[in-house]
A and B are shown apart, each in its own frame.
Chain A
Amino acid sequence: MQLQLGIGAILAALFLILYAIPHWVSSPSNVRNIVLSPLFWPYILGGLTGLIGLALVLTGRQRLGGGEPVNEPIDDPRQGIMRLAAMAVLMVASFWVMPWLGMVWTSMLAFVALAFLVRTRHPATAFICAIVVPLVLYAFFAHVASVAIPQGELVRLP
């Protein structure tokens, strides 16, 4: 695990120093002193990431074969990965649908979908909570905290 992390950190550092910082950080041409440049801090951090990566690789090589687990085992890893993929889809869908459907309705659907994903043993409670919790939160944030909760374009709440 340590070795994988170290290699990842070195690759990330190389990407930062060779591509990301030169392309995605802009600096005025008239900066006389390098320490005052907007590029200085990111380069320092990129370099330190590389050094930490190197240290992780060195310590990882010493521990090679130590059998340190990356994560806890579960009974159904394939199903677990499928559930994670579904969770990612749920998050992406919630994010994109929210402006159109509104936060309340999106939250209700997300609640039900998540309760289904985690295989709840209390579907009726989950369904009731899926309706009540977003409505209570809407009432608090919209009417007490005066936050403009997105209402969407379909059904608008008072």
Chain B
Amino acid sequence: MSLIDSVMAGLALVGNWEAFLSLAIGVVIGVVGGAIPGISATMAVALALPFTFPMQPINGILLLLGVYKGGIFGGSIPAILIKTPGTPASSATILDGHPLAERGEAGRALGMALWASCTADFVSNLALIFFAGFLASFALSFGPPEFFALILFSLTIIAGVSGESLLRGALSALLGLLLATIGLDLVYGTNRFTFGDPNLMGGLNFIAVLIGLFAIPEVINMVWHPTGHMGKVQKLGSKWVTFAEYKRSFRSIIRGSFIGVFLGSIPGIGAAPAAFLSYSEARRKSPNKANFGKGEIEGVAASEAGNNGVAGATLIPLLALGVPGDVITAIIIGAFMVHGLQPGPMMFVLNVDIIYGLFIGLILSSGILFIVGGLAIRGFRPVADIPKRILMPMVLVLCIYGVFAVNNNIFDVGVMFVMGWVGFVMARYHIPAAPFLIAFILGPLLEDNFRQSMLMSGGSPDILLRGPITWFFWTLTVIAIVAITRGTMRAAQSEG
């Protein structure tokens, strides 16, 4: 199929009002979810997932991508207004956004956040379109040993999402890998931790585990500390961002977008480091260096460009290799699976229309985000003011319906409740949940490809180093481990 044919096939899929509406609804849900502290873009994507089941695959996935993109921008609203990032990615936005809000210029900060977000999002989408196909065509020559080496390298993602302690991140990942072994054995079909219960033979339901880990702990946390969310809301003010300010910050926005694209395309780095790197680079190069941290509009632009530049780029490893770039794309992988699609190089052969449909939808999403974001800024108050103690019971009920709907199985609701408590205890002990989820997804793939490789070679481990591709990934893994170890040791030295 030629490029023009592929684009036309994609256009045929998304050139209808249902696809457009799905994307727009997704962006609205994302902006609202991101704007409510405690919901976050991750939880918004997880909660929206069950509603996509009855939809066409392309519309369902577009809706979730809309939630993702809207959520990353939406997170900047509470970051600027109440100094509480709606998503971790918006942490850097606080540095200059909140001082602006304190001066009564929240509207100006939010306007710049929106303009920078949409520009970076557009750049990121273009990067996805140009690089994902190239990477996928390269990955078509992969066999089980190559995939094993790739997934092993991808597990180094865990270092990026481990937060304050790598060891706790590793423990979390091991719990995820162990939980992924529940069910019938992949090769011999024997029982592993099933206790004779047929509900466990297919393994734990991915959606139940993910909603349990990300949404239910928030509900339990609210029960533990019902008044912990109280905060002060700032005024929008009458000053708005001007085109001259956008032009002045344009270099920082483009630089931040490329930083976001580069870091986003490497699995596991995530949006928060991209935002901070973009911010520090903008500060280093700006003539207004002294104003950074005190309410510099260019600082808001740089942070938002950094975190939104990641949004499209994290889909590069997802679509091309089937490897999630961060937690949200890990959830979106679940949506692909629910709709009977397997992201990875074969998708560029078997479902090229969906791939190009997604590309077209993503380009549209930047424009939709601009419109929806503009409206959300003006109407932020009802969004931010939904009482959390009404919201959390709603979240619980939504989770119950959503998880049940996956397999029409009440057992999954029980799994979700149990995972909710696991997530709550993990949070109390500062064990990050993201490594757990990523390992839970990658675990079966890692084991499956390892055992297939061993079957191919009759048990000889030499096959795991059979060619340049496996060598390449093993080298990357070793480099990543050395870099992680050095980083951890440096952090320990500076602490001690």
Contacts and interface: CB of A to CB of B under 8 A. Distances in A.
Nearest to B417: A91
Interface in B165-188: 165, 167-168, 170-171, 174, 177-178, 181, 185, 187-188
B397 A74 contact: no
B401 interface: yes
Given A20-B193, A38-B188, A59-B167, A5 B431 contact: yes
B433 to A, nearest CB: 15
A126 interface: yes
A118 B454 contact: no
B382 interface: no
Contacts of B222: 118
B225 A120 contact: no
A85 B459 CA distance: 50
Contact of B387 (A2, A53, A120): A120
A7 B62 CA distance: 45
A151 interface: no
User: Main SS of the interface on chain A?
Assistant: helix
Contacts of B392: 114, 118
A70 B428 contact: yes
A98 B187 contact: no
B390 A147 contact: no
A74 to B, nearest CB: 5
Interface centre among B187, B191, B394, B428 (most CB of A within 10 A): B394
A41 B417 CA distance: 27
A115 B104 CA distance: 35
A111 B177 contact: no
Nearest to B398: A137
Contacts, number: 189
A74 B54 contact: no
A34 to B, nearest CB: 8
Contacts of B428: 70-71
B459 A35 contact: yes
Interface string A5-31: 100010000001000100011111001
Interface string B389-409: 110111011101100110010
Given A45-B177, A72-B228, A87-B220, A98 B191 contact: no
B224 A99 contact: no
B165 to A, nearest CB: 8
A66 to B, nearest CB: 9
Contact of B181 (A45, A52, A55): A45
Interface string B474-496: 00000000000000000010001
User: Main SS of the interface on chain B?
Assistant: helix
A84 B396 contact: no
Contacts of B294: none
B51 interface: yes
A150 B410 CA distance: 9
Contact of A95 (B193, B225, B398, B413): B413
Interface string A96-114: 0011000100110011101
Given A24-B193, A45-B177, A125-B390, A83 B188 contact: no
Contacts of A72: 225, 228
B309 to A, nearest CB: 33
B181 A41 contact: yes
B178 A88 contact: no
Contacts of B190: 25-28, 38
Interface residues of A, number: 77
A24 B417 contact: no
Contact of B394 (A27, A41, A83, A129): A129
B226 interface: yes
Given A42-B192, A74-B225, A148-B408, A126 B393 contact: yes
B203 interface: no
A133 B397 contact: yes
Interface string A51-86: 011011001001000000011101000001001101
B459 A141 contact: no
Given A59-B167, A122-B389, A36 B187 contact: yes
B192 A107 contact: no
B401 A137 contact: yes
B51 to A, nearest CB: 7
B401 A118 contact: no
Nearest to B193: A24
A115 B389 contact: yes
Interface string A143-158: 0111111100000000
- CB-CB nearest 10 A-B residue pairs: A145-B54, A33-B459, A38-B185, A120-B389, A114-B393, A91-B417, A71-B428, A26-B190, A111-B393, A118-B226
Interface of B: 51, 53-54, 165, 167-168, 170-171, 174, 177-178, 181, 185, 187-188, 190-195, 219-220, 222-226, 228, 387, 389-390, 392-394, 396-398, 400-401, 404-405, 408, 410, 413-414, 417, 420-421, 428-431, 447, 450-451, 454-455, 458-459, 461, 492, 496
Interface of A: 1-2, 4-5, 9, 16, 20, 24-28, 31-33, 35-36, 38, 41-42, 45-46, 48-49, 52-53, 55-56, 59, 62, 70-72, 74, 80, 83-84, 86-88, 91-92, 94-95, 98-99, 103, 106-107, 110-112, 114-115, 117-122, 125-126, 129-130, 133-134, 137-138, 140-141, 144-150
26 contacts: A1-B430, A24-B195, A25-B192, A33-B454, A33-B458, A36-B454, A36-B455, A38-B187, A38-B188, A41-B181, A45-B178, A53-B171, A62-B496, A86-B223, A94-B413, A94-B417, A95-B414, A98-B413, A111-B396, A114-B392, A118-B389, A121-B387, A122-B389, A137-B398, A140-B51, A147-B408
